[in-house]
Structure 1
Amino acid sequence: MADINGHIELERSIDSIIIGVRHRKELGDLVPLMTSIQERGLLQPITITPDGVLVCGRRRLEAVKLLGWRTLKVWVRSGISDNLSRLLSEQDENALRKPLTPTEESALFEELKELLAEDAARRQEASRFGSSPTVGGENGGADSAPPSPLGKARNNAAKLVTGKASHQRLEQINTIKRTAADPTVAAVVRDLAGTELRAIDDGADVAPAFHRIKAAIELTGGQLNAAPLSRDELEALAAEALARVKQERARGGGRIRPPHPDHQPSQRSLRAFILTWSDLDGWSKHHDATEVGQQLSESDWATFERVLAETEVFADAARRARQRIPQPASA
């Protein structure tokens, strides 16, 4: 059996497989898995690199070793980067090596996540044949067949690369990296993403950078008739968007907490005003007035009335200011 990503090797010596320190963890109760392998065989092989480094299948490997096997069937996965192979083959977690940067970790995480997801998909397929509900999803040496292979692969990949459940942080870094390399994204946003990545490697927090880039994409998307944003404008607007995200997180009961009486709202830019109203243009066509009038709660209706009243007051003040603009002299 072979494909572009690897091939089956039927008789691989167990002693020749390199188990790196990142795979040396508590394996749990292996008895159900061993029993399943004795009864049904090893339905799904472990995955190794061409150099024999274990990629995934640590529990399956340990189970067959305890059963006294000397050889086993393996899936030899080609195309694995040298950096990932070195990471998985490390024998000492205190080895003297240059620490990985966050962007390097995210690259290895992305690669390993794909490999683990492949293995999980093959295990799920194997579990469809010869499976038994008595061994908790570890049928026929299929290790486990989780309902969400990608979710489990993501979590396991993060732990193997960083030693902790950091998949959300790593996914956010990869989103920023994809933005920096996406030719369909505005150049100013790509440049901003590159700046954020360099800052992250220098120790900056990931989540604020992720939300700034997300806001920058939203602020430049769909504004085909708007004047191009400068770098300074974009950074200022992204900072405003990040502040709104933080406010959303401070919600109580699903609604933004009312401002403290002494709180002075920050002044936002004219560009932010233009974008806000551009987003609202045509909004009434997308809502049913009868439904809104009959189904809003009292508090939601009060919010609507308050915003409407504030808008009318603001519009009157802006209109008066506009009428004071000197008119050009007639020829």
Structure 2
Amino acid sequence: MPKLLELPLTSIEVGTDRARDFDPDWAAGLAGIIAAQGLKHPITVRVVDGINRLVAGRYRLEAARILGWEAIPCILSEADSDDAARLEEVMENLGRAELIALDRCHHLYELKVVWERMYPQAKHGGDHGNQYTGGKSQSLALASEVPEVFGFAKANAERIGLGVSAIKMAVKIWKGLSPASRAALVGTDLATKQTELKALSEEKASVQAKILDLIHGDEHAQIQNVAGALAFLAGGIQPTGDEIRLQALRKSVSALPDPVFDRLIAENADRTIAALKRLGRI
């Protein structure tokens, strides 16, 4: 059972390698909430070489500093390694609704990396229960043609309320974004929209930089999304809303397998026939 105690704020060390970027405005807002409602959840710390190191609760800790508290309720982590502590931080943050899309992708990527370091069998297939799978046996073997390791997703999807496909997508997005793009996205509206992050991540790093320059620059204020930036780069024009939707739809339809495409046409047969007649195709 984790131990609950109060620690002086001055005794808690915050590392620089955090899974989540720090936003002072959010900390200030949280301070107001805590002042009105009290601290609902203690922070988590880990004692390393006699030093209290923060595991989870950076915003709560900073809010307490803003409020002038001398001490804060803490749960003493039972993590026995840096990776185990990182897993605690990531899992707690994933359970909080305020994570924006960019942070969520980052956290799920961190989850994958830490999980595979702690449980190498996840990379190569295995059938081992552990504290993070509730002691249940987990089949982590993968199809030979799949290069990525997704066993961690199967083991954690229910725990964090995400399906396997959603976790895979978030990891793919984070890996696809260049380090420069990740940094440039922090604090922007684009960082809150997973569909935009996905579209950006599918481009080369050099193109990502041009897209972000167009969206965040002042010269082309009408360009506010990835599709608009791509259209501008291709032809120097800003497409209408209908053209942006058509571009996205065209890409989705072209990727459909024939049976699924046939079903789509069958379900919209009357409109399809009418359109072909208007175009003089039948």
Q: Normalization by structure 1: what TM-score?
A: 0.34
Higher RCO by CA contacts (8 Å cutoff, separation 6 or greater): 1
Q: Normalization by structure 2: what TM-score?
A: 0.39
Work out which of the two has the higher radius of gyration on C-alpha atoms and give 1 or 2.
1
